Chain A
Amino acid sequence: MRRWTVRRILLGAAQTAAVVLLVFALTEALPGDAAVALAGDDPDPARIAAIRAALHLDRPAHERLGEWAAGLLHGDLGVSLASGRPVAAVLTEGFGPTLLLAGLTLALLIPAGVGLGVLAARREGGPVDRVVSSVTLAVYAVPEFAFGVLLVTVLALRLGWLPPTAVGYGTDLLAHPDVLVLPVLVLLSRPVCSISRLVRAGMVEALASPYVAQARRYGLSGARVRYAHALPNAVAPAAQQLARTVDWLLCGVIVVEALFVIPGLGTVLMDAVTARDVPVVQGLAVVFGLVAVVLNLAADLVAHRFAPRAGAAA
């Protein structure tokens, strides 16, 4: 188990490094650089050259990457090209709101997803199952942006129950829980559907399995069979899906942050790419890479624990 964990961590570090290299290469391949982006609609060649010199962009790409990587080994993420502020400070500021959104979403996602899945699986093909299955399928088919616009129009602008955006609340969103309702609902919409469908399928399969039949024959109560025997087996695939959901949440966060004006990492990423702010983009690649690796590791550990027979693939 420990060797397996160590191997996973090393693999994760290599994956993160690969992501960073790829991101650097892709950002370099984009037309224009930070100097061109800064010059905007005033592309005086002399001015672009001066900005480029001031930002040290006139040096070869491999030198810049090397210097950045050397800094990273000392925990230094470098300095933003567009603002001159340390990348670590820029990311820390954006981290709070994104973490809050993702954390809340995950915290609600697990009970909601598992609950709906179990509810539907209790009587396969029954009216509850049919309603849950068709609603989850329908919501899953709607992109976040459209769903968000719909929720804002109905719940915020027509009915006036909730604020339409988080404009003006700054980063202290926890003090204004009402502004979080719509963003979290939008973020929850699709993952809840996928998780609940997975749990339902897993439960249906487990409930039809020989060991459940055996447990029933022993006269164990329905609840005990369902929650102590069938559910753990159904949760294993869902846990891995959950980890994938987190990767996916990072994309959802970009849309939701733009729609509701939440100053998190998604907003930082959009701005950094537009400004060709390579150090910030790379810093984000490191953070996202690490988060993805850690969460996948945790998911594998969970799956390993709940259903050792399945054998978590390294």
Chain B
Amino acid sequence: MHHPHPGLRRRGFLTAAAATAAAGIGIGIGIAGCSAGTGAGARSGGGTARKGGRLRAAFAGGGAAETLDPHLGNLFADAARAKALFDKLADYGPDLTARPRLAERWEANAGLDRWAVTLREAVFHDGRPVTAEDVLFSYRRIADPKKAFRARASLEPIDLAASRATGPRTVEFRLKRPTAEFPNVLAAFGAYIVPKGTERFDEPVGSGPFRHVSFAPGRSARFRRNDAYWDGPPHLDELEFVVANEESARINALLGGQVDYAHELAPTTARAHEGKGGRIEIVRLRNSAMQGFVMKTDRPPFDDPRVREAFFLIADRDELVKGALSGAGETGNDLFGKGYAHYAAGLPQRRQDLDRARHLLKEAGAGDLKVTLDTSPVAAGFTEAAGIFRDQAAKAGVTVEVRVGNKDSYWKDILDHGTFASYRSGAMPIESHISQRLLSDSTTNATHWRRKDFDELYRRLQSTKDAAERAGLYERMQRRLYSEGGFLVWGFADWIVGTSRRVRGVARDAPANTLDWARFDKVWLA
């Protein structure tokens, strides 16, 4: 990551050094420091930043239902607009560790259940300072059970009734239990800070790099530069988000010069326009989306770990990446979070081994197995991957019947029903993946992985102050998932963005949903 503000990084590092509890951050910053050495390669184009101009960015949107309420956002377009107008206390670096944003530093007590967060000096667009009261108001709004905001589950560890402002710029968060990875909570999707008392977002006021000018839901949002931005004013005078739901429309608008940035392009489009010195530039954001299948570990046939292992061995991951992602991605190793902090990269790469798979199935008494694979065109490559896996399974004597479900209700349908389903996930810290999907009380546990001893490992991880010891626990939990978990992770898809030739400063090392993804305050027009 090429950070234009070395001061910020240094502060972040000092914070981590001061609070041993946050040493995980120290590791993260260390990694950032290394990759910063690769220099300008991390961002598109070179040269010095030029001020001025208007950039138009095309995203898929949500139609007339779109809102600028940053807590209500669900879509990539919502997240990109929220990021332009608002700030979170922290945000994710390319390795998915939390980096300080509106928070200047954080410190935990010895028990890891009280965190003192100090805010930096920042002002909202109307000139009011960002205070501890604004933070508490925003978090309480998100946690309101009546509103059902997405970020509510992420803020669950905080006891908001007991948390309080200890000064104008200091907040003391009381937690329900020790949470060593608490900074991840501050960086959670949608956990934006809004001015105290805000309930309407027709004329949104935030502390972000751009100010609101106009907004037409489902069409366009126009913002202009916030010269008082604490992280340095953006280079662009104006930023406009336009909505184009069809991929063909986004690429046509980009090719025709109507937009300068097109989000979410198809791999085939990328291949057609990549590196030809053509009209546009393709930016691949690696490790953006985990691709896999979920096996329900609590019911036949997948309640037998031998069957799960056999399925791990059936998958020819290269073929899946080539066929379902058109090669735009990397192979997976049945673990979430390739390239992220704490990823167990040392485990041997699994390869297809049909003999061993057949042997395991026979041992499990499942020699003539029939399985229904639920899938849906809800995400790119899903139905293709299902078809490819069906053919691979046939070679091991397993009959896979592919059932294509409705795409609007797919995620709910596969949560508790069926045995085997297509799955994908956007970027998040490995810790969040575990807490949201792999604990007995997780809200979206699609593999029905409920193991008391695994829960206990997670509890220990969150109560462990020492970073090295925590790293050991991460490794142990992932080893367990690798050998007998319910996630068959065959790949990690690139997120593909196209820009016009005059756009500079688009971060390349930024999985979707991290700080530098869709971040326009560091972008300029040559």
Contacts and interface: CB of A to CB of B under 8 A. Distances in A.
A69 B440 CA distance: 45
Interface size band for B = 35 or more
B411 A43 contact: yes
Given A47-B153, A51-B148, A271-B65, A170 B220 contact: yes
Contact of A30 (B67, B252, B406, B415): B406
Contacts, number: 150
B249 A261 contact: yes
Contact of A37 (B217, B253, B258, B408): B408
Interface residues of A, number: 53
B411 A41 contact: yes
Given A43-B412, A165-B258, A90 B246 contact: no
Contacts of B67: 83
A272 B249 CA distance: 20
A90 B240 CA distance: 22
A171 B219 CA distance: 9
Contacts of A41: 411
Contact of A32 (B148, B220, B244, B409): B409
Interface in A27-68: 30-32, 36-48, 50-51, 54
A160 B63 CA distance: 29
A274 B258 contact: no
Contact of B249 (A170, A260, A270): A260
B408 A44 contact: no
A167 B248 contact: no
A182 to B, nearest CB: 10
Nearest to A37: B408
Interface in A268-282: 268, 270-272, 274-277, 280
A48 to B, nearest CB: 7
Given A43-B444, A45-B443, A46-B443, A36 B412 contact: yes
B216 A170 contact: yes
A78 interface: no
Given A30-B406, A37-B409, A43-B412, A165 B62 contact: no
B244 to A, nearest CB: 4
Contacts of B148: 47, 50-51, 54
Given A31-B409, A46-B443, A152-B252, A83 B246 contact: no
A277 B252 contact: no
A82 B219 contact: no
20 contacts: A30-B406, A30-B408, A31-B405, A42-B444, A44-B444, A83-B67, A83-B217, A149-B248, A156-B252, A157-B252, A168-B56, A168-B240, A168-B253, A260-B249, A261-B246, A261-B249, A263-B218, A267-B218, A268-B218, A271-B218
Interface of A: 30-32, 36-48, 50-51, 54, 80, 82-83, 85, 90, 93-94, 149, 152, 156-157, 160, 163-165, 167-168, 170-171, 258-261, 263, 267-268, 270-272, 274-277, 280
Interface of B: 56, 58, 62-67, 74, 145-148, 150, 152-153, 216-220, 240, 242-246, 248-249, 252-253, 255-256, 258-259, 405-406, 408-409, 411-413, 415, 443-444
